């Protein structure tokens, strides 16, 4: 094989963007041969590809070697399983599933199959986070003591939430800001720092919008080594902030905007504290600015890596099996808030699935939808 025939299921904002990038030749070795969407109007712009209205027909058509699933959240599981069982290499948009139990079902479908199975965690291509991970894994930062991520620049309007009946509902999306906008940051949290051992979260339902899911979240995290973390997010705050601060033995790292600011202790914090004779002394520091260029290849980078893995056996940037961790974090945050308790991880996936089904069954929220203007293709189908 020297070319991968790709099909896309779900031709919304993100699916359209993926299609245009492949057609434009931005993903070497990839050829877009088919698309599927229940709305035929979304397919009209792609006259040279085969069109399908039924995803199962596309999966079994023989027209593709690989599939990108860019539908709303719940079908990620069922379509992902169907694609893998049909022998197709599969790239799933985030989140890979709505809840942990479905993640486990999807991941199980990939077991013992010689297929490439990836997730669209495009923020893993951002050089700021790649460099931070290098600083952590190499031991240059020493022990991590505290993590604080304020990610409140996900501002969304009432018109945004009214643009689709599936948006911001338990039955359509399975959650709000945690399941839609923040899978990227939750994935990076576990990719960089590992999974916490305890979660205590406060999720406000419809604080800023007329929706039945969370649009404002504050969470406290505890890690095995004693480190603590705070994760704050909302879609109701403008202009908002995106600031990641990491306090470690070898100083403090801040990512806010381009580049990385590392205030590096000349001597590790605990070592200095134990050796100094002064009660108010502080370790001398170096102010280090680590420049980074741009924000990486993002979605195109993940697709290029996906195709390279199929054709040449390249190591995946974002294996889909790792997608369970960000979903578990989102589920745990919601479940902690609903049960007004501190949860120990790993999360009981079956218990959370039952809770989510109860929320869906008991929902009385009346969703209002309106026509909106042209989609911003820089966003995600699920965003």
Give the start-to-end residue ranges of the domains of the chain.
4-123+297-320, 127-294+326-361
Q: Are 229 and 263 in contact (CB under 8 A)?
A: no
Give the domain 127-294+326-361 fold: Dihydrodipicolinate Reductase; domain 2 (3.30.360)
Residue 123 DSSP symbol: G
CA distance 290 to 248: 17
Q: What are the mean pLDDT values of the chain's consecutive 10-residue runs (383 residues total)?
A: 96 96 98 97 97 98 98 97 98 98 98 98 98 98 98 97 93 97 98 98 98 98 98 98 98 97 98 96 97 95 98 98 98 98 98 98 90 38 36
Token match 């965003």: residue? Answer: 383
Q: Are 355 and 332 in contact (CB under 8 A)?
A: no
pLDDT, residue 371, reads 59
**Residue 108 CB neighbour total at 10 angstroms:** 12
pLDDT, residue 376, reads 33
- Cα angle at 71 between 2 and 199, to 5 degrees? 110
CA distance 338 to 175: 12
CA distance 224 to 215: 29
CA distance 70 to 38: 13
Token pair for residue 262? Answer: 């590392």
365 vs 213, 295, 368, CA distance in Å?
Answer: 10, 39, 9
Task: Kindly give the residue spans of alpha helices, DSSP state H, lying in the chain.
Answer: 13-23, 55-59, 75-85, 100-108, 127-137, 158-161, 183-193, 269-275, 298-312, 323-339, 349-361
Nearest CA-CA partner of 135 in 286, 260, 273, 302? 260
- Cα angle at 334 between 365 and 192, to 5 degrees? 135
CA distance 368 to 236: 18
Q: Are 216 and 197 in contact (CB under 8 A)?
A: no
CA distance 251 to 264: 4
Backbone angles phi, psi at 207, to 5 degrees: -65, -40
259 vs 70, 98, 215, 265, 295, CA distance in Å?
Answer: 31, 33, 29, 19, 10
Q: Are 115 and 89 in contact (CB under 8 A)?
A: yes
Task: Kindly give the residue spans of alpha helices, DSSP state H, lying in 24-177.
Answer: 55-59, 75-85, 100-108, 127-137, 158-161
For 102, residues 6+ apart whose C-beta sits below 8 A from its C-beta are 77, 353
Backbone angles phi, psi at 95, to 5 degrees: -75, 160
For 101, residues 6+ apart whose C-beta sits below 8 A from its C-beta are 349, 350, 352, 353
Give the domain 4-123+297-320 fold: Rossmann fold (3.40.50)
């Amino acid at each position: 094989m020297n070319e991968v025939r790709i099909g896309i299921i779900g031709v919304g904002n993100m699916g359209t963007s993926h299609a245009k990038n492949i057609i434009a030749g931005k993903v070497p070795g990839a050829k877009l041969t088919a698309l599927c969407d229940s709305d035929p109007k979304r397919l009209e712009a792609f006259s040279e590809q085969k069109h399908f209205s039924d995803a199962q027909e596309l999966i079994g058509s023989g027209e593709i070697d690989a599939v990108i699933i860019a539908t709303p959240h719940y079908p990620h599981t069922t379509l992902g399983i169907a694609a893998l069982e049909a022998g197709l290499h599969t790239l799933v948009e985030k989140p890979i599933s709505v809840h942990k139990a479905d993640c486990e079902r999807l991941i199980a479908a990939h077991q013992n199959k010689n297929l490439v199975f990836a997730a669209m965690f495009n923020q893993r291509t951002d050089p700021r986070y790649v460099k931070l991970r290098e600083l952590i894994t190499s031991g240059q930062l020493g022990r991590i003591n505290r993590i604080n991520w304020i990610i409140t620049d996900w501002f969304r309007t009432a018109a945004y939430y009214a643009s689709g009946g599936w948006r911001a509902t338990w039955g359509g999306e399975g959650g709000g800001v945690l399941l839609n906008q923040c899978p990227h940051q939750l994935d990076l949290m576990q990719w960089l720092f590992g999974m916490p051992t305890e979660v205590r979260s406060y999720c406000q339902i419809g604080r800023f919008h007329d929706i039945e899911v969370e649009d404002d979240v504050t969470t406290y995290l505890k890690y095995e080594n004693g480190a603590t973390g705070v994760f704050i997010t909302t879609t109701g705050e403008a202009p908002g902030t995106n600031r990641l601060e990491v306090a470690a033995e070898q100083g403090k790292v801040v990512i806010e905007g381009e580049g990385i600011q590392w205030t590096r202790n000349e001597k590790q914090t605990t070592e200095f504290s134990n050796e100094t004779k002064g009660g108010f002394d502080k370790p001398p520091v170096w102010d280090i600015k680590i420049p980074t260029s741009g924000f990486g290849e993002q979605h195109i980078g993940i697709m290029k890596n996906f195709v390279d893995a199929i054709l040449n056996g390249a190591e995946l940037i974002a294996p889909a099996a790792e997608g369970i961790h960000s979903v578990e974090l989102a589920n745990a945050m919601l479940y902690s808030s609903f049960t007004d308790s501190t949860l120990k991880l790993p999360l009981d996936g079956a218990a959370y699935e039952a809770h989510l089904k109860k929320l869906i069954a008991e929902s009385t929220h009346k969703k209002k939808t309106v026509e909106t203007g042209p989609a911003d293709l820089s966003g995600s189908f699920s965003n």
